[in-house]
């Protein structure tokens, strides 16, 4: 079964057999969520609905969500790690719960996909001081023929590390999960081998999360009034099982990409092949996102730059001559454009960004070679025959030199490299990076702090004012909002003059003083377009979406939330306006003296 068929079969199973509504997957960059860089799980876009807000499509949903995780980026190249992946998910928002969700999962795996039930094992939460053992899930599996003891044991109990889905930040919806594993054709590593073992015998393919708690700021777990189901079936992993191949890199998702890489080089290096394929696939999808992220030295742009440059380094290692990232991206676009039309729409932007980054990286490597020569002179003067780990790491971290390149250059000069010291520097760098990301992107998902909601609303007023003053060419190209400030990226080829900034500021404050009502309506895409709404429209035209209206001033597609009237916002002030890339400007702005307690916009 190819991946295209698998995607469709999953959606149709839940829509046609179990009454779910198909919804479009969300952006890879979470909108108005400063707590995470990328959408790492299907739950991110749906947090408001998991917390009780009504979803326009109902309380049974199904989707395919693009996800990106970079915690283990340096591990990519082995048989299991990926940065970008697709997650198939079905959702119950206060409707069915554990028994029904488990039965649906089992039915899909065994009846729709034809997997042998005797090769399936499951795990459930064993319980701890915070929350009890998940007997409800275990009994649901027992009703389907699974045993928790004896020679045919296929139900296992593990702790929070394995069978608990916590909030992405410090607070939010969470709960126990039950995971499904498929046993592949290889012997167990020992008599005690079970799904918690990392020998590769048990491959996790599906995770049903039962969101029944809310983790509070005090670290306690309170029952949610609305119990939800959030499931995730990894497309890449299941495709590998169905196609009878040992790794995801041998599925139809990767084979065309790897074949192109092989044509560009005479070298045979499986690890480098995988790194190039994975990283450029991830980079291509980031570039195709409506938020229009470009390579940079901060946040999502930094991750994008790192992915592209790591792929290029491995291309150089394979002996690929000249620019090649665009050639790989073209294969990725062709392979995925039917499922993700945004790839075709963004083809020119993807090509341009990759070409520009590859050119910049070549210049950076040239600077690195000059730095290497300076190091050589210092070592020669001191009579030293080895580069320190700090020197080698500087070449890697500042100029993008992989250790292998530094070793090769050093060997030509009759020198060695202190690799042990280099590895120590590398590990310290990893720990520092992870700690920094954890500190910067922590907190509850979809921050609903009163100030955050007001600043979110202010971005709508800002965009409408910019379009009035600068022209209709202005469109949002990204935003990041905390409870202290808003950051808004928009299309404009030139920097704003002081007069334009003053005029936009005055116009936003005029609308705030007018205390205009803000409401939202549920519409189809066609209805939203006909009404004059602006925003990023889903590809599924029958899908219901929210359209927020500031009476007589703006109309936008948005998930919300927003205040009930503009008068709640206080005083708007632009703090800075600057470039955020070619043809894109960035405004940072604040609000002050707003109403502390707010009312939310209501549906009309």
pLDDT tens digits, residue range 3-21? Answer: 999 999 999 999 999 999 9
Please, which pLDDT band fits residue 589 given cuts at 50, 70 and 90? very high
| Percent of the residues in the chain that have a pLDDT greater than 70, as a whole number | 96
Please, which pLDDT band fits residue 600 given cuts at 50, 70 and 90? confident
DSSP 3-state of 458: helix
Beta-strand relationship, 221-234 and 84-93: antiparallel
DSSP 3-state of 69: coil
Q: What is the mean pLDDT of residues 242-263?
A: 95
Q: Which of 42-56, 148-162, 260-274 has the lowest mean pLDDT?
A: 42-56
pLDDT at residue 543 is higher than 60: yes
**Helix residue ranges per DSSP H, 63-133:** 98-107
pLDDT, greater one: 83 or 412: 83
Residues, the chain: 604
Contact indicator for 146, 117 with CB cutoff of 8 Å? no
The total of other beta-carbon atoms located within 10 Å of residue 244's CB is: 9
pLDDT at residue 498 is higher than 70: yes
Q: How far apart are the first and last CA of the chain?
A: 45
Cross-strand bridge partners of residue 211: 228
Cα(334)–Cα(356) distance, integer angstroms: 21
pLDDT at residue 482 is higher than 90: no
Cα(391)–Cα(465) distance, integer angstroms: 51
Q: What is the mean pLDDT of residues 93-116?
A: 97
Domain map (residue ranges) of the chain: 3-250, 264-374, 384-444, 450-603
Please, which pLDDT band fits residue 442 given cuts at 50, 70 and 90? very low
Q: What is the mean pLDDT of residues 318-338?
A: 94
Q: What per-residue confidence (pLDDT) applies to 225?
A: 85
User: Which two tokens mark 595?
Assistant: 């109403």
Beta-strand relationship, 518-524 and 602-603: parallel
Contact indicator for 551, 530 with CB cutoff of 8 Å? no
pLDDT at residue 443 is higher than 60: no
- Burial of 302 from C-beta contacts in 10 A (0-12 / 13-18 / 19+): middle
Q: What is the 3-state secondary structure (H, E, C) of 217-255?
A: CCCCEEEEEEEEEEEEEEHHHHHHHHCCCCCHHHCCCCH
> Please, which residues have CB within 8 angstroms of residue 448's CB and are 6 or more apart in sequence?
48, 561
pLDDT (tens digit, 9 = 90+) per residue, 54-102? 888 999 999 999 999 988 787 888 887 899 999 999 999 999 999 999 9
Q: What per-residue confidence (pLDDT) applies to 445?
A: 37
Phi, psi torsion values for 538, nearest 5 degrees: -65, 160
Residue 219 backbone zone (phi > 0: left; psi -120 to 50: alpha; other: beta):
left
Q: What is the pTM of this model?
A: 0.83
Cα(552)–Cα(561) distance, integer angstroms: 19
Q: What per-residue confidence (pLDDT) applies to 51?
A: 76
pLDDT at residue 438 is higher than 70: no
Cα(89)–Cα(123) distance, integer angstroms: 19
pLDDT at residue 243 is higher than 70: yes
User: Which two tokens mark 156?
Assistant: 């296992």
Cα(78)–Cα(470) distance, integer angstroms: 50
User: Which two tokens mark 225?
Assistant: 């009034």
Q: What per-residue confidence (pLDDT) applies to 175?
A: 94
CATH number for 450-603: choose from 1.10.287.70, 3.30.980.10, 2.40.30.20, 3.40.50.1000. Answer: 3.30.980.10
Domain 3-250 sits in CATH 3.30.930.10: yes
């Amino acid at each position: 079964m190819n991946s295209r068929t698998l995607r469709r079969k999953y959606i149709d199973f839940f829509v046609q057999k179990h009454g779910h509504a198909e919804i479009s997957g969300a952006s890879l960059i979470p909108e108005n969520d400063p707590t995470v860089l990328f959408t790492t799980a299907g739950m991110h876009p749906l947090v408001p609905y998991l917390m009780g807000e009504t979803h326009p499509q109902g309380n049974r949903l199904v989707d395919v969500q693009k996800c990106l995780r970079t915690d283990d980026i340096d591990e990519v190249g082995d048989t299991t790690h990926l940065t970008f992946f697709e997650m198939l998910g079905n959702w119950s928002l206060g409707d069915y719960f554990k028994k029904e969700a488990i039965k649906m999962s089992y039915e899909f795996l065994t009846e729709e996909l034809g997997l042998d039930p005797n090769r399936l094992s499951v795990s459930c939460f064993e319980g701890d001081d915070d929350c009890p053992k998940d007997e409800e899930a275990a009994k649901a599996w027992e009703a389907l023929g699974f045993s928790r003891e004896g020679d045919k044991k296929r139900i296992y109990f593990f702790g929070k590390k394995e069978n608990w889905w916590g909030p992405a930040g410090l607070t939010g919806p969470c709960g126990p999960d039950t995971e499904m594993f498929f046993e592949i054709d290889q012997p167990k590593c020992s008599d005690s081998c079970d799904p918690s073992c990392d020998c590769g015998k048990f491959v996790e393919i599906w995770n049903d999360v039962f969101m029944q708690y809310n983790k509070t700021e005090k670290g306690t777990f309170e029952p949610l009034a609305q119990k939800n189901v959030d499931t995730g079936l990894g497309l890449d992993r299941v495709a590998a099982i169905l196609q009878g191949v040992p790794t995801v890199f041998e599925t139809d998702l990767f084979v065309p990409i790897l074949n192109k890489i092989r044509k560009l080089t005479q070298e045979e290096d499986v690890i480098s092949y995988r790194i190039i394929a994975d990283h450029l696939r991830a980079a291509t999808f980031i570039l195709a996102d409506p938020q229009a992220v470009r390579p940079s030295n901060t946040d999502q742009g930094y991750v994008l730059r790192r992915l592209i440059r790591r792929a290029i380094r491995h291309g150089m290692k394979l002996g690929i001559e000249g620019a090649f990232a665009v050639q790989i991206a073209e294969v990725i676009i062709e392979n995925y454009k039917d499922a993700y039309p945004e790839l075709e729409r963004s083809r020119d932007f993807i090509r341009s960004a990759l070409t520009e980054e590859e050119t910049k990286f070549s210049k950076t490597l040239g600077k690195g070679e000059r730095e290497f020569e300076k190091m050589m002179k210092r070592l020669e003067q001191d009579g030293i025959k080895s580069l320190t780990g700090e020197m080698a790491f500087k070449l890697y971290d500042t100029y993008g030199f992989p250790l292998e390149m530094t070793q090769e250059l050093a060997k030509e000069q009759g020198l060695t490299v202190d690799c042990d010291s280099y590895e120590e520097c590398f590990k310290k760098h990893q720990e520092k990076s992870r700690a920094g990301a954890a500190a910067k992107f922590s907190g509850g998902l979809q921050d609903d702090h009163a100030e955050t909601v007001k600043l979110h609303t202010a971005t709508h007023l800002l965009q409408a004012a910019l379009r009035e003053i600068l022209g209709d060419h202005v469109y949002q190209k990204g935003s990041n909002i905390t409870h202290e400030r808003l950051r808004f990226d928009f299309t404009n080829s030139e920097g704003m003059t002081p007069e334009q900034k003053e005029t936009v500021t005055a116009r936003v404050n005029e609308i705030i003083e007018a205390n205009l009502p803000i409401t939202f309506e549920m519409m189809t895409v066609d209805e939203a377009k006909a009404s004059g709404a602006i925003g990023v429209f889903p590809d599924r035209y029958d899908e219901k979406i929210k359209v927020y209206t500031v009476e007589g001033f703006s109309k936008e597609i948005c998930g919300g939330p927003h205040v009930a009237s503009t008068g709640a916002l206080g005083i708007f002030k632009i703090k800075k306006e600057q470039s955020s890339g070619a043809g894109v400007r960035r405004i940072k702005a604040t609000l002050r003296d707003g109403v502390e307690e707010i009312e939310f916009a209501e549906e009309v």
